[in-house]
């Protein structure tokens, strides 16, 4: 669509490999990668000049070039999972993502690469989302995809999963689609219960990651993942998020990248509404329907001059300056510190899991966990009990028993029309 027109030229194979090696080199992150391309014209030229840069540099962040054999091995491993590297400069590289300062030098993709060329909207939110929140995410996702747009999210529990699932229901139509951005390798499923969703995304949507194949996700990877969700998207919608939620980091990235931030308001008595409500106070667009997003997209599409000439790739090597002095490399040296900040964010994020038990089997659910799950699905807004049964995956008898226990404990209340809600405290 409008914002993501592909480039006509394709990088040579030698330049593609050089860019991957440069990107995987020690201490070279996305900002330094772009600085070096801008300075030297190509990754091949940058690699040739790298020894001179290292010799003149007095920074403690030493650069070690990634080996050719290691990079080729990474590509071969990706191939076994049907993953293709999308490199900065490839025609398939999304234009909106290329526009941000710290866009990934390359990422791996499985599935429908055509979705990378469509206009995307990010949808993010709480992992322990309420059934109402998940229902709203499904509704917005369905309407956006029906209108021909792509929904991008992180394949997490809760809001992310609801948004992807609704989008996939339209996968066989001539509409939009959905992209999942992972925190670990493109072949690593997390959370584990989303295995079926992952397989559907690989077949009918698109799954991407800038991490090497096989890498298990860690908490520090998720903020980096979040910048890609917002970077791919025209705007990002936040549906339910606590005050220290990773979704708020995604919203902050979106604002810094010059993208719209949409926030779905919620009850002040629900902690999951604290994030979106604070975003609205800070100037985010109040989002109570998909029409709010669609109107913003259509308005932007009318102003095509805003998006002209922002996406230019270096496909051919320029003549680099030989015998450069230290001052010529100042910007590159400074960018190493910026990359260090990106790769090791300082902000603590409470709702991002530390993943040390990825290979272990899922623990069996206990009665207590079922009760907590039901309570988590509820919010201060009344919810149909039939919807609660469908969302929870428990039987009607189990849900009825749990609701009675929660009602006796003074945690929930019933409403006319077979609805139930949390009791506001």
pLDDT of residue 62: 81
pLDDT of residue 94: 96
> Parallel, antiparallel, or unpaired: how do β-strands 419-422 and 383-384 relate?
antiparallel
pLDDT of residue 352: 46
pLDDT of residue 374: 86
Worst-scoring range by mean pLDDT, 16-30, 114-128, 348-362? Answer: 348-362
pLDDT at 285 over 70: yes
- Coil, helix or strand for 99? coil
pLDDT of residue 8: 47
CATH 1.10.10.10 fits 367-422, yes or no: yes
Are the beta carbons of 237 and 293 closer than 8 angstroms? yes
Worst-scoring range by mean pLDDT, 196-200, 255-259, 319-323? Answer: 319-323
For residue 318, give Cα distances in angstroms to 36, 43, 44, 46: 12, 10, 10, 11
Q: What is the pLDDT of residues 31-70, one digit of tens each?
A: 999 999 988 899 999 999 888 877 776 666 788 899 999 9
* pLDDT band of 369, cuts 50, 70, 90: confident
The residue that leads in pLDDT, 360 or 114, is 114
* pLDDT band of 255, cuts 50, 70, 90: very high
* pLDDT band of 425, cuts 50, 70, 90: low
Q: Quick one: CA torsion of 75, 77, 83, 87, rounded to 10 degrees? A: -20
What pTM value is reported for the model? 0.81
Q: Cβ–Cβ contacts within 10 Å for residue 209, how many?
A: 26
| Angle CA 141–142–144, to nearest 5 | 65
CA atoms within 13 A on the CB side of 131: 23
Token pair 């604290």 in the structure block, residue: 274
Peptide bond just before 191 cis, omega within 30 deg: yes
Q: Is 14 exposed, middle or buried (0-12, 13-18, 19+ CB in 10 A)?
A: exposed
Architecture of domain 13-305: 3-Layer(aba) Sandwich (3.40)
- C-alpha span between 278 and 271 (Å, rounded): 11
**Structural Rg of the chain based on CA atoms:** 23
Task: Show contacts of 302-309: CB within 8 Å, 24+ apart.
Answer: 304/2, 307/2, 307/3
* pLDDT band of 327, cuts 50, 70, 90: low
pLDDT at 317 over 60: no
* pLDDT band of 346, cuts 50, 70, 90: low
pLDDT of residue 310: 39
The torsion angles phi and psi of 370, rounded to 5 degrees, stand at: -65, -45
For residue 388, give Cα distances in angstroms to 133, 385, 422: 12, 5, 13
User: In the chain, which residues fall in CATH 1.10.10.10?
Assistant: 367-422
* pLDDT band of 284, cuts 50, 70, 90: very high
- C-alpha span between 140 and 28 (Å, rounded): 38
* pLDDT band of 347, cuts 50, 70, 90: low
- Coil, helix or strand for 59? coil
pLDDT at 422 over 90: no
* pLDDT band of 315, cuts 50, 70, 90: very low
Alpha helices (runs of H) in 288-395, residue ranges in sequence order: 290-302, 330-343, 367-377, 385-392
Are the beta carbons of 242 and 275 closer than 8 angstroms? yes
- CB environment 155-169: b (16+ within 10 A), e (fewer): bbbbbbbbbbbbbbe
CA atoms within 13 A on the CB side of 60: 2
pLDDT of residue 149: 96
The residue that leads in pLDDT, 324 or 52, is 52
| Angle CA 11–15–17, to nearest 5 | 115
User: How high does pLDDT run on average in the chain?
Assistant: 85
User: In the chain, which residues fall in CATH 3.40.50.450?
Assistant: 13-305
């Amino acid at each position: 669509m409008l914002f993501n027109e592909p480039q006509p030229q394709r990088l040579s194979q030698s330049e593609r490999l050089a860019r991957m090696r440069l990107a995987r080199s020690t201490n070279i992150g996305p900002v330094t990668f772009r600085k070096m391309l801008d300075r030297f014209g190509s990754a091949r030229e940058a690699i040739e000049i790298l020894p001179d840069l290292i010799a003149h540099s007095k920074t403690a962040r030493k650069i070690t070039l990634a080996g050719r054999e290691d990079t080729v091995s990474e590509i071969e491993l990706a191939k076994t999972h049907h993953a293709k590297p999308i490199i900065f400069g490839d025609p398939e590289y999304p234009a909106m993502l290329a526009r941000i300062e710290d866009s990934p030098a390359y990422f791996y993709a499985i599935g429908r690469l055509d979705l990378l060329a469509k206009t995307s909207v990010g949808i993010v939110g709480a992992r322990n989302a309420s059934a109402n929140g998940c229902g709203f995410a499904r509704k917005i996702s369905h309407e956006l995809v029906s209108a021909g747009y792509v929904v991008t999210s992180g394949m997490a529990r809760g809001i992310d999963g609801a948004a992807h699932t609704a989008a996939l229901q339209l996968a066989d139509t001539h509409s939009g689609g959905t992209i999942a951005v992972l925190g670990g390798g493109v072949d690593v499923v997390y959370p584990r219960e989303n295995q079926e969703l992952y397989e559907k995304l690989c077949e009918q949507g698109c799954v991407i990651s800038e991490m090497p194949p096989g890498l298990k996700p860690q908490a520090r990877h998720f903020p980096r993942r979040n910048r890609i969700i917002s970077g791919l998207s025209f705007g990002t919608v936040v549906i339910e998020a606590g005050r220290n939620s990773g979704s708020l980091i995604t919203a902050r990235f979106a604002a810094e990248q010059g993208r719209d931030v949409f926030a779905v308001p919620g009850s002040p008595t629900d902690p999951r509404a604290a994030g979106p409500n604070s975003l609205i106070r800070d100037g985010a667009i109040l989002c109570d329907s998909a029409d709010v997003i669609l109107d913003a997209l259509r308005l932007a599409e009318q102003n095509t001059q805003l998006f002209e000439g922002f996406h230019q790739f270096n496909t051919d090597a320029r003549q680099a300056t030989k015998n450069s002095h230290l001052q010529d490399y100042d910007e590159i040296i400074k960018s190493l510190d910026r990359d260090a900040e990106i790769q090791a964010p300082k902000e603590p994020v409470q709702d991002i899991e530390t993943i040390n038990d990825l290979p272990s089997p899922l623990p069996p659910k206990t009665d207590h966990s079922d009760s907590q799950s039901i309570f988590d699905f509820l919010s201060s807004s009344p919810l149909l009990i039939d919807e609660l049964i469908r969302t929870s995956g428990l039987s009607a008898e189990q849900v009825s028993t749990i609701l009675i226990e929660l009602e006796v404990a003074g945690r929930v209340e019933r409403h006319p029309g077979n609805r139930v809600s949390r009791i506001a405290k």
